[in-house]
Amino acid sequence: MSDFDYDLFVIGGGSGGVRAARMAAAEGDVKVALAEEDRYGGTCVIRGCVPKKLMVFASEYSGMPEEARAYGWEIADGTFDWATFHGNLEKELDRLEGVYKKLLDGSGVERFEARAKLRDPHTVELSTGEVKTAKHILIASGGRPQRPDVPNAHLGMVSDDIFHLEKLPRSVLIIGGGYIACEFACILHGLGVKVTQFYRGAQILRGFDEEARGLISEAMQERGIDLHVGTNIVEMRCAEKADFEGDGDGRLGVSVQEVGDIPGDSSMTGETEDEAEGPLWVKATNGQEGIFDAVLFATGRTPNTEDMGLEECGVALGNGGEVVVDEYSQTGVPSIYAIGDVTDRVNLTPVAIREGMAFVETVFKGNPTPVDHELIPSAVFTQPEFGTVGLTEEQAAAQEATEVYCTSFRAMQSAFAGKNDRVLMKLLVSKETRKVLGCHIVAPGAGEMIQLAGIAVKMGATKEDFDRTCAVHPTMSEEIVTMRQPVRTA
């Protein structure tokens, strides 16, 4: 008989933790428990990928009537009802959470709906007062949005709050230039919100391919998003009547007529505990002032490691609070492992799931399996979408001599409707080995395309392998296999 209550105790009910718990429990005699203090499904299902993608779908319908009319359909512009969408969204999230619970129950995993922290390398203490022991402990507690260290930051929202709004603000200022900031800028604009975006850097989407991020920035601005790069927030407070005096020349955001009566206006439309009582006055580093119904901070995320007893048990944390692990997801304490966003390696749901699977292979199947973080395809759900795998042009050029194959054009569907939207297809090829080092696509449906391109890049396909592949015509993606001459070398 084991000296422990469980062979594995998982802290965190997100996609990675649930997958690891289920796979370990499937090994027969392995007894598994999992604790989740909030909702099952974690960031992706409840506060991230899934609700965000559903909001992307909703926002994309706004441009369809105009495009349809160019194709001969007599369709009037519609209106978006947040209450209807939000009600359906909540139902879907409830359904998905129920699926996660059923999967755990069906696998024989014992669930604890409580906060868990470590007492020692083999002991977990629950917020219910229960104490459980385990031979192995897996930390899969994820991460959360962080607020910047500026006065009155509590008046603004973070990404989690978006999904709890009872109605949409009429205007919003988004602080940040990463993929979360840009995705919500496009989403909210598509839903009819007046969007202003500040980013302190020179160009949005830092870390991605320069040419691709430039095209996305231009497309966002052409759609009507008021993007200010090299700009940050200096001050923020609740707006007062005096803030609306004068002619408002150069003022960002909205006018008093658009916002409503000041002060005590009820146009701030969230129900979060940090909610402001009315519109917010903001001053930017460029000297401009603005008044917005809401401010959304999308300035980074931080691992959920606070008050978990990790360091007291000997688990090392990095400078950002992340759990430090080796290639097998093992911490410096042999019995404790960590996967997913809490390790701040590659913060993507499919990666967390694969880390969980590798953990089970290593610990419960006797097959030491390091986590593979190379050549991971990903997508940014801006409008247009951005799909990417492998090296950027800048990274490839720094690594070796590279040929750049690239084309940008108006896609057939949008060009016929008289729209100026442009598509980008780009391959980076090693001069020496001819391998495709990176693939970048900016286009409607780029996320779907990059998944398939990612297979070829992961397999080590050469440019000649792409060239030998027959094109599917007429499609946007055919350009990936029809670019014959490099546009430049790097």
Strands 6-11 and 32-35, bridge-based pairing = parallel
Domains contained in the chain, CATH given: 6-144+301-365 (3.50.50.60), 153-246+276-298 (3.50.50.60), 378-489 (3.30.390.30)
pLDDT tens by residue, 330-340: 999 999 999 99
What span, in angstroms and rounded, lies between the C-alpha atoms of 333 and 352? 20
Q: Using alpha carbons, select from 82, 101, 89, 105 the residue that is nearest to residue 47.
A: 89
Compute the distance between CA of residue 441 and CA of residue 410 in angstroms, rounded to an integer: 13
Which residues participate in the annotated binding site for NAD(+)? 176-183, 300
pLDDT at 245: 74
pLDDT at 262 over 50: no
- Calculate mean pLDDT across residues 95-122: 98
- Per-residue pLDDT averaged across 72-100, rounded? 97
What is the Cα–Cα distance from 405 to 398, expressed in whole angstroms?
A: 17
**Residue 2: band (very low, low, confident or very high) from pLDDT cuts 50, 70, 90:** confident
pLDDT digits (tens, 9 = 90+) for 369-409: 999 999 999 999 999 999 999 999 999 999 999 999 999 99
- Using the CB atoms, write b or e for 402-430: b if 16+ within 10 Å: bbbbbeeeebeebeeeebebbbbbbbbbb
Q: What is the pLDDT of residue 99?
A: 98
* Whole-number Å distance between alpha carbons of 170 and 303: 32
Which pLDDT tens digit goes with each residue over 427-465? Answer: 999 999 999 999 999 999 999 999 999 999 999 999 999
Confidence of residue 243 (pLDDT cuts 50, 70, 90): confident
Percentage of the chain modeled with pLDDT above 70: 93
Q: Specify the pLDDT at position 269.
A: 36
Point out the annotated binding site: 53, 176-183, 300, 341
144, 299 Cβ separation under 8 angstroms: no
Cis? peptide before 263, omega within 30° of 0: yes
> pLDDT band at residue 265, thresholds of 50, 70 and 90?
very low
HSE-up of 455 (CA within 13 Å, CB side)? 4
**Any catalytic annotation for residue 228?**
no
Residue 148: which pLDDT band, with cuts at 50, 70 and 90?
very high
The catalytically annotated residue of 136, 164, 440, 473 is 473
Contact 188, 196 (CB under 8 A): no
What mean pLDDT value characterizes the chain? 94
Report the binding-site residues for FAD.
Answer: 53, 341
> What does the pLDDT look like over 184-203, one tens digit per residue?
999 999 999 999 999 999 99
pTM: 0.93
Token digits for 294?
Answer: 């809401």
- The phi and psi torsions of 198 (rounded to 5 degrees) equal -105, 135
